Amino acid sequence: MRKPVFVLLCFLILQNLNAQEIRTFMDLQTHTAIHIPYGLFSDGLTYFPKNAPPRLRFKHMFTNVNYANFFENNPGARIIINGAINKEWVQSREKARRVILEQIEYVNAFIQQHADKFALATTPQEARDLVLNTNKTVFIHSIEGGRRIIDSQEDANFWASKGVAFVTLVHLLDDENGASAITPGFFTRIMNLKGVFRKEKNRRLTEHGKNAIRYLANAGIMTDLTHMSAQTRRDALDFMYEQQIPPISTHDGFQPVHNSPRGISEADIIGIYHHNGFVSLPLSGAPLKPRKSSPAYQQLLDSLNRAKCYCAGSVDNYKFSYLALKQFVEGNAALISNDSLMVFSKLTDSQKVKYAIGFESDFNGWLSHERPRYGKKGCYPMLKIRAYEEFEQKGLAHPGLIKGHWDALSGDGVDLEPIKRASEKFLQLWQYFLRAKKK
């Protein structure tokens, strides 16, 4: 299908480097219109009175915290991928399209109404120009859940016409595209009983799923591997490598730390980056909780706990996972690049974009987020001799506190540049897909 893709990709990346690169925090998925598919939630992107803010906490399951106030001038998430979420049990192709389209149009209408503060980017160049030349918060569209919406090339072309940058092909249920990861816990198992009673070796990417990936690539849309079962992900990666389609994963974990069906193996991390894709970690608390970590990481966790410098469920979950993944990716840069003499530290900042690591907040009403480190809900007492930022006391109670998340990590000496580079990596990859699409 795309035999000269790597030559073309190198050409396009070099061409992109002639443009001014961006370095900013880019949220690879949140859901501001969750109330449309799931009516139990209040409307997103509405304003509360500045003198009467809602009382929110990090345990906000079943609460929509996506108030418009939190997205204005938010340096913690300058670019936001807004995920139009598909209904899990939808059977009608027409209804699936209608519900997703309604979410896209809802966000578009909000942006038009508040064009002084927000903007929509339907191409990488639009996003780049908005970041470099305005102070606006930039929205980009994606879709989470490919069920009943990609049956033909015409379907993929339709979503491309709406500015959709990527589709998370599989969500919480096994469907016509493939199998969903069944994570530990009652909720995901009861939701996906069909998958529970099937052997993992039989839970594969389907021919329909392969066609969907191909249709999306032909339309200039990336495929997100997040939520796929281990076998479906393996099939998808093999297919995408064969077809020379770069893969992305926006909010799965790193298997040596998160040994669950949502954890991506070391070999697959290397493969994704080798084939010019990249991965991203979620900010929401539960998905990043270390689980059955490999001995080396478990020993490190144990030592941190003994030293009382690890607060489980807090920003420390993200910190531990991010540093583990960062060290692994950068430590294997020579293998990823097929250049045994390459040393990551000697690369230019532009060359390091290839090894970027993204983040995804997933504020959607269903999930809670990071607990605070300090105070009654935290691990450590608040001392009278110092002042505490809101994030330190509340945790990640709403999107407006994402900057506090980064400030806490920066205060701990964590290098955040790979996360900022992910915005440029995403735009370069999106640009490649658009230029390589079939006319």
DSSP 258: B
Residue 149 has a pLDDT of: 98
Residue 190 has a pLDDT of: 75
Sort 151 into a burial class: Cβ within 10 Å, 0-12 / 13-18 / 19+: middle
The half-sphere exposure of 425 on its side-chain side, counting CA atoms within 13 A, is 29
pLDDT tens track, the chain, 439 positions = 444 444 445 444 444 444 799 999 999 999 999 999 999 999 999 999 999 999 999 999 999 999 999 999 999 999 999 999 999 999 999 999 999 999 999 999 999 999 999 999 999 999 999 999 999 999 999 999 999 999 999 999 999 999 999 999 999 999 999 999 987 776 777 777 677 778 777 889 999 999 999 999 999 999 999 999 999 999 999 999 999 999 999 999 999 999 999 999 999 999 999 999 999 999 986 777 899 999 999 999 999 999 999 999 999 999 999 999 999 999 999 999 999 999 999 999 999 999 999 999 999 989 999 999 999 999 999 999 999 999 999 999 999 999 999 999 999 999 999 999 999 999 999 999 999 987 6
Residue 416 has a pLDDT of: 98
Residue 109 has a pLDDT of: 98
Complete DSSP assignment for 269-333? HHHHHHTT-EEEEE-STGGGS-BS--HHHHHHHHHHHHTT---TTSHHHHHHHHHHHHHHHHHTH
Structure tokens at 428: 């370069």
Residue 358's closest CA among 322, 407, 395? 322
Geometric angle at alpha carbon 367, from 98 and 398, rounded to 5°: 95
**Which strand (E) or helix (H) includes residue 253?**
strand 253-254
Q: Are 217 and 244 in contact (CB under 8 A)?
A: no
